[in-house]
Amino acid sequence: MKRLDKNAIIGFILIGVILFTYMYINRPTEAELEKKRQEALKQQQEQQKKQQPKDTMVKKDNAVVSDSLKKTEQQSKYGLLAPYSQGKSRIVTVENEALKLSFDTKGANIVRAELKNFKTYYGKPLVLFEGNQNKVYCNFAMTNGNILNTDELYFSVQGDTAMKLSGEKQSKISFIAKVDDNNYIERVFTLQGNSYLVGMDINIKGMKEVLGNNSYELFFQTQMLATERQEDIDDNRTNSALYYNWAGDVDHLSYTSKDLESETQNGSVYWVSHKAKYFSAGLIAGTPTLGMKVESYVPQNNDKIIKGYSSRLSVGYTPGENTQHKFRFYFGPNDYHQLKAVAKSGAEGFHKQLGLGWFIFKYVNMYLIIPLFNLFELMGINYGINIILLAICIRLILLPLNWKSYISGAKMRILAPQLEPIKEKYKDDPTRQQQETMKFYRTAGVNPLGGCLPLLLQLPILFAVLQFFPQAIEFRQQSFLWAKDLSTYDSILDFGFKVPFYGDHVSLFTLLMTVSTIFYTYMTNKTQTNPQYKQMIWISYLMPIIFLGYFNSVSAALSFYYFVSTTLSIIQQELIKRTVDEKKLLAKIQANQQKAANKPEVKSALQRKLEEMQKKQAEKAKVVKNKRK
């Protein structure tokens, strides 16, 4: 390769200097550069204006096609009701003296129910349920093979949309999806000024070209909100359940299950009730139904909702004919008299959702506890005083039984020394010992079971109170002494942590109840003469301690009643003890024994049968003993 000489290199450098100098001298000014930028921007804007009409036309064409397809789809799905598949949701609120209800024109749903006469534990308006997940809608089979879900329709609203009723006034509000005057679906809600009941008429006129099948399904869905103390959420859930009257039989889904519970039945369903502890949302059928499917569940990780409920009723009708189906809603308290009044108005057994106990316990509540409770309630006194008066009345009613029980126990104590020779003589023959002991009691005119039976007869009252008090809405938000709310526990000390089998607090009424029960047990045990009972005496002291953990979290009203009742029992027993003259009692027993000694023994058929059984048992025992030898 030929190398560049010195002159060539200098020539290239001079050319570069000349070019740089030329470009520097002839560079454009700042004004010229700005002018060129403005011209380029102007040119770009003109090109965009020319292009914009074309783009707009394309978009409009696409929108027209999209709207046309949507209308075609809606027409295919909803038929003549397609115009009601689009619209704007609107909330309509109506109220009377007891209720404040909010309706959504989308679906004609009741989306909020407030009870105006009550407050939550924290003093806020008491709302049973709220939100779009709460629905009342119908599913119809359509002639085109689709399902018409009225929850998807935007209804027109008619009537008094600013309803505020009082007294005996009554008014209506209507939600209608209307094809013409001869073809429409309508729901009419009726409120009365002072009632927790809301009427709902489902009117179907014509619609033969739209609706098919001979039945439709009516859905009632609610999520019942927490209204009580947050710490009582578990107690509130275990006192909430879905009730229903199927074919005249009142039943319910599980109280305690946290899983999805369901029940399906064919036949007449008279009502369903979505029950929380103190309030309910019920649907009452005034029209014959064909069956039901009901469900309940506990929402996961959501302490604002007690339970979720869903009820589906099948209702028969004839397409093309004018049909009116009548239903009623009950949004109100679980007050026995309120529920009983609803039951008498056509919802048979509606009051039975307020569980008053099984068999005899239910009747004790209905005809003794509740009437007495209501009698004292009419006096307008504090509910704590009401409980004291109720306990006094119950103790007075039970006084004859307690008197008889004490007299029987006193006789047994007096006769105890005289039984020792019999026990010693027949210590190796338990059967003969038992026979001679019973014979001795008969001659003395003493019934060994006389002290037990009166105590057993008191148990129905104890269990009746256990059923009624924890769910009595009358105690809700009623204070007494240190208890701010008698419907929940009376905490005087919060630990901040949970003690196993006890809880995270101290209930003073429960402590007083436990102490009084232990003292009463001590007094009762002092009168016992049965050696076998004395061997098991420690159990009688253990039971109050075991119950301490359970009653620590129940309503203060219940533990206070048991405390007062036990205290009155102690006083009553001490008064009876001071009244009874055991010397006169002994003289009476001796007179009976003398009379029996001068009279041939006459045994009843039952006594003879028992003695025969005892003899056979003794002979069998003797045979077994000889075989072993």
C-alpha span between 63 and 255 (Å, rounded): 54
CATH number at residue 161: 2.70.98.90
What's the angle, vertex CA 205, arms to CA 201 and CA 207, rounded to 5?
125
140-157 in b/e burial notation, b at 16+ Cβ within 10 A? bbbeeeeebebbebbbbe
- Within a domain: 41: no
Residue range 426-432: mean pLDDT, rounded: 74
Task: Looking at mean pLDDT, say which of 19-23, 448-452, 500-504 comes out highest.
Answer: 500-504
In this predicted structure, the answer to whether residue 309 has a pLDDT above a threshold of 90 is: yes
Q: Which residue has the higher pLDDT, 260 or 71?
A: 260
Query: Is residue 605 packed enough to be buried (19+ CB in 10 Å), middle (13-18) or exposed (0-12)?
Result: exposed
> Are 313 and 445 in a shared domain?
no
- Within a domain: 558: yes
Task: Looking at mean pLDDT, say which of 40-44, 384-388, 457-461 comes out highest.
Answer: 384-388
Q: Which residue has the higher pLDDT, 431 or 5?
A: 431
Token pair, residue 180, equals 């013409």
C-alpha span between 109 and 101 (Å, rounded): 10
Residue range 302-325: mean pLDDT, rounded: 92
- Summarize pLDDT for 280-290 with one digit per residue, the tens: 999 999 988 99
Contacts of 455 (CB under 8 A, 6+ apart): 401, 405
pLDDT of residue 40: 58
SS (H, E, C) 110-153: EEEEEEEEEECCCCCEEEEEECCCCEEEEEEEECCCCEEEHHHC
3-state class (DSSP) for residue 619: helix
Out of 240-249, 435-444, 477-486, least confident range: 435-444
Residue that is last in its domain, among 320, 354, 388: 354
- Summarize pLDDT for 70-92 with one digit per residue, the tens: 677 777 788 888 889 888 999 99
> Are 89 and 201 in a shared domain?
yes
C-alpha span between 596 and 598 (Å, rounded): 5
Residue that is last in its domain, among 324, 354, 384: 354
Between strands 135-142 and 147-149, the pairing is antiparallel
In this predicted structure, the answer to whether residue 606 has a pLDDT above a threshold of 60 is: no
> Are 257 and 382 in a shared domain?
no
Q: What percent of the chain has pLDDT over 70?
A: 80
> Are 88 and 185 in a shared domain?
yes
C-alpha span between 571 and 589 (Å, rounded): 27
> Are 340 and 385 in a shared domain?
no
pLDDT of residue 443: 72
Is 91:100 a contact under the CB 8 Å cutoff? Answer: no
Residue range 41-57: mean pLDDT, rounded: 58
Residue range 519-545: mean pLDDT, rounded: 75
pLDDT of residue 78: 84
Residue range 542-557: mean pLDDT, rounded: 90
> Are 263 and 350 in a shared domain?
yes
Residue range 311-333: mean pLDDT, rounded: 92
- Within a domain: 156: yes
Mean per-residue pLDDT over the chain, rounded: 84
Q: Which residue has the higher pLDDT, 492 or 623?
A: 492
Residue range 96-110: mean pLDDT, rounded: 94
> Are 322 and 403 in a shared domain?
no
SS (H, E, C) 37-98: HHHHHHHHHHHHHHHHHHHHHHHHHHHHHHHHHHHHHHHHHHHHHHHHHCCCCCEEEEECCC
3-state class (DSSP) for residue 207: coil
pLDDT of residue 64: 47
In this predicted structure, the answer to whether residue 543 has a pLDDT above a threshold of 50 is: yes
* Angle in degrees, 0-180, between the axes of helices 605-628 and 430-444, rounded to the nearest 10: 160
pTM listed for this prediction = 0.78
Instruction: Name the helix (H) or strand (E) containing 209.
Output: none
Give alpha helix (H) positions in 469-581: 508-526, 531-535, 537-551, 556-579
pLDDT of residue 58: 46
C-alpha span between 278 and 228 (Å, rounded): 9
Task: Looking at mean pLDDT, say which of 19-28, 106-115, 534-543 comes out highest.
Answer: 106-115
Q: Which of 562, 563, 524 is nearest to 541 (CA)?
A: 524
Out of 74-83, 302-311, 559-568, least confident range: 74-83
In this predicted structure, the answer to whether residue 232 has a pLDDT above a threshold of 90 is: no
Residue range 328-345: mean pLDDT, rounded: 95
3-state class (DSSP) for residue 263: strand
Residue that is last in its domain, among 304, 324, 354: 354
In this predicted structure, the answer to whether residue 56 has a pLDDT above a threshold of 60 is: no
pLDDT of residue 425: 75
Is 552:510 a contact under the CB 8 Å cutoff? Answer: yes
> Are 432 and 499 in a shared domain?
yes
pLDDT of residue 528: 64
Q: Which residue has the higher pLDDT, 438 or 20?
A: 438
Is 409:529 a contact under the CB 8 Å cutoff? Answer: no
Task: Looking at mean pLDDT, say which of 47-56, 344-353, 574-583 comes out highest.
Answer: 344-353
> Are 406 and 492 in a shared domain?
yes
Q: Which of 468, 118, 128, 114 is nearest to 307 (CA)?
A: 128
pLDDT of residue 627: 63
In this predicted structure, the answer to whether residue 396 has a pLDDT above a threshold of 50 is: yes
pLDDT of residue 1: 45
C-alpha span between 379 and 365 (Å, rounded): 20
- Within a domain: 76: no
> Are 336 and 406 in a shared domain?
no
pLDDT of residue 11: 62
Residue range 596-603: mean pLDDT, rounded: 59
Confidence bin at 2 (pLDDT 50/70/90): very low
- Within a domain: 605: no
C-alpha span between 257 and 279 (Å, rounded): 20
C-alpha span between 207 and 96 (Å, rounded): 34
> Are 169 and 225 in a shared domain?
yes
Counted domains in the chain? 2
- Can you name the residues that pair with 171 across neighbouring β-strands? 191
In this predicted structure, the answer to whether residue 270 has a pLDDT above a threshold of 90 is: yes
Residue linked to tokens 């009377």: 96
In this predicted structure, the answer to whether residue 194 has a pLDDT above a threshold of 70 is: yes
Q: What is the domain extent for residue 297?
A: 82-354
- Within a domain: 93: yes
Rg value, the chain, Cα: 42
- Within a domain: 504: yes
Contacts of 192 (CB under 8 A, 6+ apart): 96, 165, 168, 169, 170
- Within a domain: 332: yes
> Are 171 and 210 in a shared domain?
yes
